[in-house]
Amino acid sequence: MRLAKYLAHAGVASRRAAEGLVAEGRVTVAGTAVTDPARDVDESSAVAVDGEPVRAEPREVWVLNKPAGVVSTASDTHGRRTVTELVPSARRLYPVGRLDADSTGLLLLTNDGELANLLTHPRYGVAKTYRAHVRPAVVSERGLQGLREGLELDDGRTAPAKVRQVRPGLLEITIREGRKRQVRRMVEAVGHRVTALERVAFGPLRLRGLAPGAHRRLRPGEIEELRAPAEREGRARVGDNRRR
């Protein structure tokens, strides 16, 4: 197995973050620093990060209803409360993607780096649905159409989104990207401001029955429901590229 994938499977970090650890020279194999994330390793290879042996641990996936004011990181240099502090697990969990500190709602935490990559990499296009409270309250049809068709932001054009105006002042927006503060910036691009933002769905998983700050561990069947659509989308995109 490739080194970065091995680290992700062991719950050290997502695959992309694991590649960064390798590039920084923090990973050793049999006592020797390795900078090639594609290096083949297995359980007998004596892999270590910062001198600490890496051993596989049972996979866990949790869903959390993130409250406002909590940061979506495993640790924080400013002493703010983090999402990992809200979940009672002995595993090295980290959030799957992020919600900014002011945003609330559905956030996944896991020690399964492969699953985290599958759910967040743009290649797999996993849908995420948000409810955005906006001001001014009424978004014009032209503004709604712009959100649906895609908008030019400072980091490029957004992909088409599903958008409906639930009522004046409340939009439901589904995107398949994960840019920084994307929903807020999209709404600003059509002349409105988000006053509150809640994620209510991640793929097929919806935020139901969890109070702010509450959490639960996902069942194996729920994890498979998250994984399967992303894998199908990934295979479909590979097939499309080969036909071009």
Is residue 228 a part of any domain in this protein?
yes
The verdict on 217 and 175 lying in the same domain is no
Q: Is the peptide bond before 136 cis (omega within 30 degrees of 0)?
A: yes
Say whether pLDDT at 241 is over 70: no
The verdict on 13 and 110 lying in the same domain is no
Say whether pLDDT at 242 is over 80: no
The verdict on 166 and 215 lying in the same domain is no
Domain CATH number, residue 11 = 3.10.290.10
Is residue 209 a part of any domain in this protein?
yes
Distance CA 55, CA 46 (A): 9
pLDDT band at 130 (very low <50, low <70, confident <90, very high): very high
Distance CA 153, CA 149 (A): 13
The verdict on 7 and 45 lying in the same domain is yes
The verdict on 170 and 79 lying in the same domain is no
Q: Choose among 56, 112, 60, 68: nearest CA to 87.
A: 60
Residue 100: active-site member: yes
Amino acid 237: pLDDT:
63
Structure tokens at 112: 């399964």
Beta partners for residue 31, in sequence order: none
- Cβ neighbors of 70 (< 8 A, separation 6 or more) are 80, 81, 82, 83, 86, 101
Q: Choose among 22, 24, 25: nearest CA to 41.
A: 22
pLDDT band at 27 (very low <50, low <70, confident <90, very high): very high
The verdict on 41 and 150 lying in the same domain is no
- Which parts of 147-189 are beta strand (E)? 152-153, 156-157, 162-167, 170-175
The verdict on 26 and 85 lying in the same domain is no
For 153-187, how does the pLDDT look when each residue is reduced to its tens digit (9 = 90+)? 999 999 999 999 999 999 999 999 989 999 999 99
Mean pLDDT of 125-142: 97
The verdict on 154 and 142 lying in the same domain is yes
Is pTM beyond 0.85? Reply is: no
Long-range contacts made by residues 46-51, C-beta under 8 angstroms, separation at least 24?
47/3, 47/6, 47/7, 47/10, 49/7, 49/12, 49/21, 50/26
Distance CA 227, CA 64 (A): 18
Mean pLDDT of the chain: 92
- Which parts of the chain are beta strand (E)? 27-29, 32-33, 47-49, 52-53, 61-66, 94-95, 104-110, 128-135, 152-153, 156-157, 162-167, 170-175, 193-202, 205-206, 215-217
Is residue 242 a part of any domain in this protein?
no
Is residue 244 a part of any domain in this protein?
no
Domain range spanning residue 73?
A: 61-122+205-233
The verdict on 132 and 197 lying in the same domain is yes
The verdict on 178 and 211 lying in the same domain is no
The verdict on 138 and 101 lying in the same domain is no
For 49-104, how does the pLDDT look when each residue is reduced to its tens digit (9 = 90+)? 999 999 877 889 999 999 999 999 888 888 899 999 999 998 889 899 999 999 99
Amino acid 77: pLDDT:
83
Which of the residues 40, 100, 102, 155 is marked catalytic? 100
- As for how many domains the chain has, the answer is 3
What are φ and ψ of residue 146, in 5° steps? Answer: -60, -45
Task: Provide the percentage of residues in the chain whose pLDDT is more than 70.
Answer: 96
Collapsing DSSP to helix, strand or coil, 144 comes out as helix
SS3 content of the chain, % helix, strand, coil (to 5): 30, 30, 40
The verdict on 169 and 157 lying in the same domain is yes
Collapsing DSSP to helix, strand or coil, 82 comes out as strand
Amino acid 12: pLDDT:
84
Is residue 96 a part of any domain in this protein?
yes
Is residue 151 a part of any domain in this protein?
yes
Is residue 28 a part of any domain in this protein?
yes
For 202-226, how does the pLDDT look when each residue is reduced to its tens digit (9 = 90+)? 999 999 889 999 999 999 999 999 9
Is residue 89 a part of any domain in this protein?
yes
